[in-house]
Amino acid sequence: MAKKKGKLRAEFRKKHQGRVRKRDLTREFRDDVSSRIDDVEQGERLSGKGELTRRRTIAGADNASAGSDALQVNVRVDESQLTHGRVLSVHGLQSKVLADDGRLYACAVRQVLKSLATDQRGVVVAGDRVWFRTEARDGDGGQTARRADEVVTADGMIERIEPRHGIICRTSRGKQHVIVANVDAMLIIASAAEPGIKPVLIDRMLLTAAQCEIEPVVVINKIDLVDPVHLQSLVGVYASLGYRVLPTSATTGQNIEYLKAFLSNRQTALAGQSGVGKSSLLNAIEPGLALAVSSVSTENSKGRHTTTAAKLIPLEEGGAVFDTPGIRQFQLWDIQATEVAGLMPDLRPYVSGCRYPNCLHLHEDDCAVKDAVADGRIDARRYDAYCHLLEDDLL
């Protein structure tokens, strides 16, 4: 007996209401309802009670895939008629998808997925695993593609997005900006000079990695430009907390072989501000990538945005890396002020010793965290970074 298709109430983006009073009966008669649902396939219906409602019933939806993320409210599809692949990059309305058979497709996103109301800025991001319909282009010779810059041989339409794990995201204009998805590890790239190291940005990314259960590695690039002794205290703080800290140089090749071994058989994202050398490190690890790089501005010592979109790049020795655009601001997403101390390994052991269960460790009495700072058990610079983070973003 065939399994009965389910129904699911989902919230869609709010659209313009239009006329409140309908005075033109001829206009109303000529407006064909079917013209507004051209992109909806036969057998899928969107219905709602009342003209102004934002909630609709998706007939044929898979309730098992529906979670807190509206994008996971996917219409049940016949997977035997679809192709499975992974998104390499997103450029406007078009996504480059690498199918499991090695072919590269240029795909659009189904309208019903784009219409779902969500806190996210985009529907599809680099790293998403998707199911899509294919349509071969004229003159397709059956070529295969391994990298995002190779020739696209066919078009497609993304029908559904699989549930994500290991996402790296930030807050952007009040929405969740997912940078990449399905990540196992994150290399937090900083530079010893040109531009200078920003511990505040490193701390924010470490919190995001802890929240999403992603393994973080702090990489200090351009170590050849400074005396390593000047960074010893900063490296010692992170190393004492259990984080892996790796000084590198794309110019001299320092620790490049170690990075190459670490990236093997992993899905790893490189994140950091502009100009720290993310693309240069990838070129040193695998010279055949030939990623575009540029020098740091001589006027303000800041990097230029050479990488404009996140790209998933498969590696020859297994695994893949995400080359992401430079980040100058990294505002936390979905982290409450009371959760920050629990995500910091040096503050976490003292949180339960505070007098108040919702203690923010700022001005409260009988605070075990502040007592640990006064006794030298918590580094004062780390506590200052914690205070600035709460006061700037979360309070």
Tell me which of 149-153, 183-187, 249-253, 344-348 is least confident.
Answer: 149-153
Q: Which residues of 327-360 are buried (b: 16+ CB within 10 A; e: fewer)?
A: beebebbebebeebbebbebbeebbeebeeeebb
The fold of 337-394 is Ribonucleotide Reductase Protein R1; domain 1 (1.10.40)
What is the residue type of 30? R
pLDDT given for residue 143 in this prediction? 43
- Quote the pLDDT of residue 31: 58
E strands, 45-109, where? 46-47, 55-61, 83-91, 94-99, 104-109
Report the chain's mean pLDDT, rounded to a whole number: 78
pLDDT exceeds cutoff 70 at 23: no
pLDDT band at 185 (very low <50, low <70, confident <90, very high): very high
DSSP string, 123-183: S--TT-EEEEEEEEPTT-------STTS---EEEEEEEEPPP-S-EEEEETTEEEEEE-S-
For residue 344, is pLDDT > 90? yes
**Residue 240 in this model has a pLDDT that exceeds 70:** yes
112 pLDDT band (50/70/90 cuts)? confident
- Neighbour-count burial of 14, counting CB atoms closer than 10 A to its CB (0-12 exposed, 13-18 middle, 19+ buried): exposed
Lowest mean per-residue pLDDT among 92-101, 167-176, 232-241, 258-267: 167-176
Interatomic CA distance for residues 95 and 218, integer angstroms: 30
Higher pLDDT, 33 or 291: 291
Annotated binding-site members for Zn(2+): 354, 359, 361, 367
Separation CA 182–CA 309 (nearest Å): 17
Per the annotation, where are the binding residues?
221-224, 272-280, 354, 359, 361, 367
Amino acid at the residue 234: L
Q: Where are the domains of the chain?
A: 79-161, 168-323, 337-394
pLDDT surpasses 70 at 315: yes
Residue 357 has pLDDT above 60, yes or no: yes
Output the known binding site for GTP: 221-224, 272-280
Residue 72 pLDDT: 47
Instruction: Give the CATH fold of the 168-323 domain.
Output: Rossmann fold (3.40.50)
pLDDT the model gives residue 68:
39
Q: What's the average model confidence in pLDDT over 75-93?
A: 82
Confidence band (pLDDT; 50, 70, 90) for 78? Answer: low
* Distance (Å, whole) CA 132 – CA 130: 6
pLDDT digits (tens, 9 = 90+) for 191-206: 998 888 888 889 989 9
- Determine the pLDDT at residue 300: 43
The per-residue pLDDT for 148 is: 43
For a pLDDT cut of 90, what percent of the chain falls above it?
37
Question: Of all residues in the chain, what percent carry a pLDDT higher than 70?
Answer: 70
The domain over range 79-161 is classified in CATH as 2.40.50.140: yes
